[in-house]
Structure 1
């Protein structure tokens, strides 16, 4: 007998299925939260929290939180994408995640 296991990724914010959903952990008032988001919705979360992250003091990593993802082997680093974006007149932050729209533009240009 054969088995077929199918994994369906769903964005917690929209409820939509997607091929790319990542789990993100954040905490507020001592409570840790975990949410699965497509890159576009993570960009929204990061944009909303950005001013508070910039002004806040780091307290260390949340226990059990996944470590930051690195660029895939052979893929461009965040700094490479940022440098290209700036050369194209696209505004990007010096820190944090490079928005998926900018990465898509980079990939389309290369």
Structure 2
């Protein structure tokens, strides 16, 4: 037996069923809290008209695609060949894993030995 699931988009304001490609999904924020609402074109126009005076008087802050949590900064690309450091470390009696961070003292010893 086959199962068919059909998703329908419904105008969140008046309950009207929207045809595929019809209406708008609108995201907005008030007091630091973000909301999303599906509206028909008619209700979307009303929404934008109602907010227009406030948007015109307000000041934009940040980007609309701001993340809720700050993104972690990417680490700077090292000029060191980590595989070469691992090979040197093993050949000189140090224990290092095949992946991940190499301990600072081992990197410093490698630099001193290869300066």
TM-score, length of structure 2 as denominator length: 0.50
1:38-77 equivalences in 2 (<5 Å): 38-59=40-61, 60-63=63-66
Distance (Å, rounded) in 1 between the aligned partners of 2:44 and 2:32: 21
**Whose Rg is larger?**
2
> How many Å apart are 1:62 and its aligned residue?
4.3
Which residue of 34, 37, 42 corresponds with 2:36? 34
Distance (Å, rounded) in 2 between the aligned partners of 1:63 and 1:10: 27
Q: Is 1:8 aligned to 2:8, yes or no?
A: yes
1:24/1:37 CA distance change after superposition, 3 Å: same
Higher RCO (CA 8 Å, separation ≥ 6 residues): 1
Distance (Å, rounded) in 2 between the aligned partners of 1:21 and 1:52: 23
RMSD, aligned α-carbons: 1.6
Contact map agreement 1:21 1:39 (CA 8 A) in 2: yes
TM-score, length of structure 1 as denominator length: 0.52
Consecutive unaligned residues of structure 1, counting only runs of 5 or more, are 65-110
User: Which runs of at least 4 in structure 1 moved beyond 2 Å after TM superposition?
Assistant: none
Contact map agreement 2:11 2:40 (CA 8 A) in 1: yes
Question: What is the aligned length?
Answer: 64
Contact map agreement 1:23 1:35 (CA 8 A) in 2: yes
Consecutive unaligned residues of structure 2, counting only runs of 5 or more, are 68-115
- 43-52 or 17-26: bigger deviation: 17-26
